[in-house]
Amino acid sequence: MDLVSCGSTVVVVMEHTSKGGKSKVLPLCSLPLTGKGVVTKLIKELAVFSYGKNGMVPNEIAPDTTLEKVKASTLAHYTVSPNLKKIQYW
């Protein structure tokens, strides 16, 4: 709770979908929150999203996926970055 209330950068890393294939990127959180609107980056196996004044924006997608697959697996609204690129692994 201290991390989300002190103005630090908050990065969430989790799977994009559940084992049953349901999206974990939802329009509204159904779990108890310790901080609202504090996440700055969401890292998933399909894409990396950032949050800002334009809402949720995918900046990078996995090299083996497509924007269509990300869209099909994401229930939350987002705006695609004009600078969208593939994730570069080392």
pLDDT tens, 79-89? 999 999 999 88
User: Would you say 83 and 59 are in contact if contact means Cβ atoms under 8 Å apart?
Assistant: yes
Topology adopted by domain 2-86 = Glutaconate Coenzyme A-transferase (3.40.1080)
Instruction: Tokens for 62, please give them.
Output: 């996995």
Instruction: Tokens for 40, please give them.
Output: 């700055």
User: Would you say 27 and 49 are in contact if contact means Cβ atoms under 8 Å apart?
Assistant: no
Return the number of other C-beta atoms located less than 10 Å from residue 69's C-beta.
Answer: 15
pTM of the model: 0.83
User: Would you say 61 and 10 are in contact if contact means Cβ atoms under 8 Å apart?
Assistant: no
Q: Categorize the per-residue pLDDT at 52 as very low, low, confident or very high, splitting at 50, 70 and 90.
A: confident
